[in-house]
Amino acid sequence: MTGAIIEISQLTKQFKSKEVVHKADLKIVKGEIFGLIGQNGAGKSTLLKMIGGLMYPSSGEIHLFDHAVGENHAYFERMGLLIEDPGLFPHYSAYENLDLMAISYGLKDRSKHINELLKLVGLDGSNKTKVKNYSMGMKQRLGIAIALMGSPDVLILDEPINGLDPQGISEVRKLILELNKTGMTIIISSHILEELSKVATKYAILHHGEIIEINSKEELLLKCEVRIEVEVDKASLAIPILEEHLNINNYKVISDRTLYVYDTHVENHQITKVLVENGVSVQSIMKHKQSLEQYFLKRTRAEGDSHD
């Protein structure tokens, strides 16, 4: 293996004649916040259920913590899952909900563990309130506390911000980042790339059950950044001209002929004019700007929508 604590190869799930996840390959490294992005119905929950041991794959392999899972399901016990409804008891308090879970885990020092969990998810002040009176964000944090009950190494959260108001979103986001700081590896799915980008360090785009792209945070930001792409006959000649005449100093030389300009005070026509006037011919110039959401849509549209 390659330092990955989760590795899936050619993982496929078929429901009758419908293939919902198709030959997915992924490696997840310890300490990562791995974002799985896909539109509704892309197969995110199905893929996460297989990784979390809630569903058998039709074919393919799962390696957890350097071991092929095969028939040995003990490795799944090191995963904490919040997939779909956390199954809370509305007439019980957060403490009571967690206590029921702690009993099912057979934990000895239940009260200590529960109080630590409540503190961790920021519900220690409201632990006596009945869950039916909780906000969606609080319920979601309690769901995360339940997922953390078995002290997992990996936390899998399926669309954890779905249906939350901005405050709930921000609370859950903060909690995810705090948990990650303790060294926990987190897999999180969403259909909103913008939101995922606030926490994830790596991204896989799932489309019609296929992983069509995997990006590090840096790669994704590069694809979505605002810049002017300039193609000239010789980049080394263009640079001093741009520096001197347009005060451009925020740029990157991509090749002998290509420059990316990040300064926002200049327009394409100014760059073209000053280069041509100083004897550098401009082959092309283009403003590159797209939001994360635009990028995601473009990427999934390029793959087509006709798989059904």
Ligand X SMILES: Nc1ncnc2c1ncn2[C@@H]1O[C@H](COP(=O)(O)OP(=O)(O)OP(=O)(O)O)[C@@H](O)[C@H]1O
Q: Work out which of 7, 22, 24, 45 binds ligand X, going by CB under 6 A.
A: 45
Q: How far is the CB of 39 from ligand X (least distance, A)?
A: 7
Q: How far is the CB of 186 from ligand X (least distance, A)?
A: 17
Distance CA 97, CA 127 (A): 10
Angle at which helices 268-277 and 235-246 pack, to 10 degrees?
110
Q: Work out which of 5, 35, 38, 152 binds ligand X, going by CB under 6 A.
A: 38
3-state helix, strand, coil in the chain (%, to 5): 40, 30, 35
Q: How far is the CB of 135 from ligand X (least distance, A)?
A: 22
Q: Does 44 bind ligand X (CB under 6 A)?
A: yes
Q: Which stretch, 24-32, 38-46, 138-146, 261-269, contacts ligand X (CB under 6 A)?
A: 38-46
Token digits for 33?
């916040």
- Nearest CB to ligand X, comparing residues 41 and 90: 41
Q: Which stretch, 37-45, 196-204, 227-235, 281-289, contacts ligand X (CB under 6 A)?
A: 37-45
Q: Work out which of 41, 70, 163, 240 binds ligand X, going by CB under 6 A.
A: 41
Instruction: Find the DSSP H helices in 185-233.
Output: 193-196, 217-224
- Nearest CB to ligand X, comparing residues 44 and 113: 44
Q: How far is the CB of 198 from ligand X (least distance, A)?
A: 19
Sheet with 227-232, strands from edge to edge, namely: 251-253, 258-261, 227-232, 282-288
Q: How far is the CB of 20 from ligand X (least distance, A)?
A: 4
Q: In degrees rounded to 5, what are phi and psi of residue 259?
A: -125, 140
Distance CA 12, CA 234 (A): 49
Is the distance from CB of 200 to CB of 33 less than 8 angstroms? Answer: yes
Token digits for 79?
């995963």
Of residues 163-192, those binding ligand X (CB under 6 A): 191
Q: Does 42 bind ligand X (CB under 6 A)?
A: yes
Q: Which stretch, 41-49, 96-104, 149-157, 287-295, contacts ligand X (CB under 6 A)?
A: 41-49
Distance CA 4, CA 173 (A): 24
Q: Does 43 bind ligand X (CB under 6 A)?
A: yes
Q: How many CB atoms lie within 10 A of CB 179?
A: 20
- Nearest CB to ligand X, comparing residues 44 and 227: 44
**Regarding beta strands 154-158 and 185-190, do their DSSP bridges make them parallel or antiparallel, or are they unpaired?**
parallel
Q: Does 306 bind ligand X (CB under 6 A)?
A: no
* DSSP tag of 165: -
- Nearest CB to ligand X, comparing residues 40 and 104: 40
Interface with ligand X by CB under 6 A: which residues? Answer: 15, 20, 38, 40-46, 159, 191
